[in-house]
Amino acid sequence: MPRLVLATRNPGKIVELRAILTEALGRHVPGLDVERDVVGVDAYDLPDVVESGVTFAENALLKARFVAERTGLPAVADDSGLTVDVLGGAPGVFSARWAGRHGDDEANLRLLLAQLSDVPDVHRGAAFVCAAALVTPQGEEHVEHGRLVGTLERAPRGDGGFGYDPVLTPLGYRRTCAELDPAEKNAISHRGQAFRALAPHVARALGVVV
């Protein structure tokens, strides 16, 4: 039986989050099998949650609360997005539906790059931001944050990752997030930061004192 539910339907995100939790929780939860014990929300017949929050933390909590209540298991959710300096922090919480339809990565990338086509390189600063939330059926709640600063490229590069990964080059790197291997990306990513910070709370929710 699952022990933890990830409140996402994104298969790329599930793979990424399982890897991060394996790294972060392995030393705390001997015998944890993320393939068996950590499942996505598609394992349950649940409707999508309306992400009506105006911050990443609010949306992460909305999703985690709903899934914990409906499944009776600890639930972890994140809300992540891209904040662009010259757009005043947009697309922000609208990152996944920037082009109008939720989850259309290609359309979102095309629109963003078109909006920034005349912006010089020196002003193409941006950051990936993540809020990760844990909610237990007993009502315990924790939220942690992560941030990956970088610059936006003028065209996508790389076949890895998802979302805006092909256009963000992390500060100090010459490769986009989509050109990093999964271990490299997880070591520096906004989600990696947030979920590593959340890991002790997750361990305790699974009955392990850290």
pLDDT over 70 at 210, yes or no: no
| Confidence class for position 101, pLDDT limits 50, 70, 90 | confident
> Which residue has better confidence, 49 or 75?
75
Active-site hit among 79, 85, 118, 121? 79
Is 133 among the domain residues?
yes
Residue 178 gets which letter from DSSP? G
Amino acid at 67: V
Of the candidates 133, 131, 173, the one whose C-alpha atom is nearest the C-alpha of residue 149 is 173
- Does residue 200 or residue 83 have the better pLDDT? 83
Q: Residue 11 is part of a domain; what is its CATH number?
A: 3.90.950.10
Q: What's the confidence (pLDDT) of residue 102?
A: 82
Tokens matching residue 180: 């990093």
Residue 102 falls inside a structural domain:
yes
What is the residue range of 194's domain?
4-205
Q: What is the pLDDT of residues 163-178, one digit of tens each?
A: 999 999 999 999 999 9
100 C-beta neighbours (distance < 10 Å), count = 10
The answer as to whether 113 is a domain residue is yes
129 vs 12: CA distance, rounded Å: 17
- C-alpha span between 190 and 165 (Å, rounded): 12
User: Could you give the number of structural domains in the chain?
Assistant: 1
Kindly state whether residue 210 falls inside one of the protein's structural domains. no
Residue 70 placed within a domain: yes
Q: How many CA atoms lie within 13 A of 92 on its CB side?
A: 14
> Pairing relation of β-strands 75-84 and 125-135?
antiparallel
Please tell me the distance from the alpha carbon of residue 111 to that of residue 98, in angstroms, as a whole number.
8
Does residue 17 fall inside a structural domain? yes
Integer CA distances (angstroms), 120 to 83, 86, 88, 116, 151, in order: 17, 11, 16, 9, 11
In the structure encoding, which two tokens stand for residue 125, read together? 């600063």
pLDDT digits (tens, 9 = 90+) for 16-42: 888 888 887 766 677 678 888 889 999
Domain contains 51: yes
**What's this model's pTM, rounded to 2 decimal places?**
0.89
- Tell me how far CA of residue 94 lies from CA of 56, 76, 97, in angstroms: 10, 20, 5
What secondary structure letter does DSSP report for 17?
H
User: Taking Cα atoms as reference points, which of 34, 5, 30, 8 lies closest to residue 19?
Assistant: 34
Q: How confident is the model at residue 148 (pLDDT cuts 50, 70, 90)?
A: very high
Active site residue 33: no
